[in-house]
Amino acid sequence: MPEPRVTAIVAAYNEADVIGQVVGDLVGQGVSVYLLDDGSTDGTADAASAWLGRGLLHVERLAEAPGPFRWECILRRKEALARQLDADWFIHHDADEFRESPWPHLRLGAAIHAVDAAGYNAIDFELLNFWPTHDRFRPGDDVRAAFTHYEGPQPWDKVQVRCWKKTGGPVDLVSSGGHEAVFEGRRVFPLRFLLRHYPVRGQAHGERKVFQERQGRFEEAERARGWHRQYDQIAPGTPFIRDPATLTRFDAEAVRLRLMVDHRLVEELQQAPAARDRLLLESERAREALSRALDLRNREAERLGRELDLRNHEADRLGRELDARNREAERLGRDLDARNREVEGLGRALAVSEEGRARLQAELAAVRDSRTWRWSAPLRALGRRMGRG
Domain boundaries, the chain: 6-261
pLDDT at residue 162 in the model:
98
The count of other CB atoms within 10 Å of the CB of residue 198 is 25
Q: Which residues contact 179 (CB under 8 A, 6 or more apart)?
A: 156, 157, 159, 160, 161, 162
Distance in angstroms (rounded) separating the CA atoms of residues 244 and 151: 10
pLDDT at residue 246 in the model:
97
Dihedral through CA 93, CA 98, CA 101, CA 102, nearest 10? Answer: -110
For the domain with range 6-261, which CATH number is right: 3.30.1230, 3.90.550, 3.30.559, 1.10.3470?
A: 3.90.550
Cα 328 from chain centroid (whole Å): 66
Hey, which residues does 122 pair with through a beta bridge? Answer: 164, 188
pLDDT at residue 279 in the model:
55
pLDDT at residue 169 in the model:
93
pTM of the model: 0.69
pLDDT, tens digit (0-9, with 9 covering 90-100), for 69-83: 999 999 999 999 999
CB 159 within 8 A of CB 124: yes
Q: Per-residue pLDDT for the chain (389 aa), expressed as one digit of tens each?
A: 678 999 999 999 999 999 999 999 999 999 999 999 999 999 999 999 999 999 999 999 998 888 899 999 999 999 999 999 999 999 999 999 999 999 999 999 999 999 999 999 999 999 999 999 999 999 999 999 999 999 999 988 999 999 999 998 999 999 999 999 999 999 999 999 999 999 999 999 999 999 999 988 889 999 999 898 888 888 899 999 999 999 999 999 999 999 999 878 877 776 656 555 665 676 567 667 656 766 777 888 789 889 888 888 888 898 898 888 889 888 988 988 888 888 888 878 777 778 878 888 887 888 777 765 555 666 566 667 776 65
pLDDT at residue 245 in the model:
97
From 143, 145, 148, select the one nearest 133 (Cα to Cα). 148
Dihedral through CA 173, CA 175, CA 177, CA 182, nearest 10? Answer: -40
